[in-house]
A and B are shown apart, each in its own frame.
Chain A
Amino acid sequence: MSTQGERHPQPYWNPYVAGIGLGLVLLASFVVMGRGLGASGAFSSLVTVGVQSIAPDHVAHNEFYSEYIGDGTKSPLKDWLVFEVLGVFVGGFISGSLAHRVTKVVEKGPNISTRGRLLFAFAGGGLMGIGAKLARGCTSGQALTGGALFNVGSWAFMMMVFGGAYAMAYFVRRQWQ
């Protein structure tokens, strides 16, 4: 908390400085753990646990869910990615609080209603969930991690992410501009 009463959000860091920081975290993860970063996998574990609590038999007979259950000796939530993603929430909050950037807000352009923006957010999230599972990872696990490791599939994936987003941008420009 600032005592000077200065509560204006501070500007973001220079992108190259933030990028070096992010790269060093990724490098540290490779060195310490022998694996990179991730995000979508944690939510797969969460979804699996949700479905399992409602329909345990269904989960046991589905190859996708059973991969997240493992051998059943420990909870699917006692997982590396789940703990990492918990940290991501905390780290984002620490950084945002220090810079007075924590605000209850809907991010959108001036030409779309809040309701419309939230519908887009849900639809985009849905596409992202399906895409990330099909690709075996998202921007963190594939593009960033696999990119740094020269993973062939990750580089193909990354090109397609940028290509897809640029191709779709025109059609949803009302949302942002």
Chain B
Amino acid sequence: MMAPFFKYGLFGDDVSLVVAFITGIGFGFFLERGGFNSAKKLAAQFYFTDLTVFKVMFTAIITAMVGLYYLSVIGFLDLSLVYLTPTFLLPQVVGGLLLGFGFVIGGYCPGTSCVAVSTGRIDAMVYLGGTMFGILVFGEVFPLVSNFYVSTPMGQITLPQITGLPYGLLVFLVVLMALGGFVGAEWVERKMASKKAGAAL
């Protein structure tokens, strides 16, 4: 085992900030390459006309997932040292719902709004202002919602642990599901495009 490098002490906190900056550059670069700087393109996901959000997101998830799996199988990476956010089911379900509403109303999510701001999208600048206002509101009402915030705690828990299925099998199933999803997404896009062309005649 030699990875995660930071956890094995290969470099310290100051260098980690340089790593953060470089990682962010890569993150922002590929977000923009995929078209995530455009609210119109992002929102189109929810009208079935352009399913780029699903395609990019699930390609990224399975790429990282398969990579993690093989790196841990060959003994290069200690998966238990990769930070896992603890699960608090109910607040995460409600938070996810609010985030979903905000996504189609605002047109971005926090990460995508950053690349939209740096490529000149004025609505993204306003959106980001709204996000910070929302965080401020949450901070101010936190004493009132703190009980809910820590409700239904499940600890650091993964799908392999909760289902009892082998890790590799779940990787395989998610990859299969994603590939099926991609085929379906291409079909839906073609269908919507021909419907639109039909309506224009």
Contacts and interface: CB of A to CB of B under 8 A. Distances in A.
Contacts of B109: 39, 128, 138-140
Contact of B63 (A24, A48, A177): A24
Contacts of A21: 26, 29-30, 33
A123 B114 contact: no
Interface in B93-149: 93-124, 126-139, 142-143, 145-146, 149
Given A125-B128, A143-B57, A108 B34 contact: no
B149 to A, nearest CB: 7
A134 B63 contact: no
B17 A121 contact: no
A169 to B, nearest CB: 4
**Interface size bucket, A side?**
35 or more
Contacts of B108: 121, 124-125, 128
Given A92-B28, A155-B159, A27 B126 contact: no
A152 B24 contact: no
A87 interface: yes
A149 B68 contact: yes
B176 interface: no
Interface in A46-103: 46-48, 50-51, 62-65, 78, 80-96, 99, 101-103
Interface centre among A65, A99, A148 (most CB of B within 10 A): A148
Given A16-B59, A92-B115, A107 B30 contact: no
Q: Which of A39, A50, A103 has the most C-beta atoms of chain B within 10 angstroms of its own C-beta? A: A39
B97 A91 contact: no
A107 B95 contact: no
A84 B23 contact: yes
A37 B81 contact: no
Contacts of A94: 25, 28-29
Interface in A15-61: 15-40, 43-44, 46-48, 50-51
B48 to A, nearest CB: 9
A36 B63 CA distance: 13
B64 A26 contact: yes
Given A25-B23, A64-B142, A105 B122 contact: yes
21 contacts: A13-B34, A27-B64, A31-B5, A32-B5, A34-B3, A43-B132, A63-B142, A91-B25, A92-B118, A102-B119, A107-B124, A129-B135, A135-B99, A138-B111, A150-B159, A151-B85, A153-B88, A157-B99, A160-B95, A163-B97, A177-B47
Interface of B: 3-7, 16-35, 37-41, 43-47, 52, 55-65, 67-68, 71, 77, 81-89, 91-124, 126-139, 142-143, 145-146, 149, 154, 157-160, 162, 167, 170, 182
What are the 5 tightest A-B residue pairs by CB atom distance, in nearest-first order? Answer: A124-B106, A87-B24, A129-B134, A164-B100, A125-B130
Given A107-B39, A136-B86, A148-B60, 10 more contacts: A19-B58, A34-B3, A96-B120, A107-B40, A131-B95, A141-B85, A142-B85, A143-B57, A152-B154, A168-B101
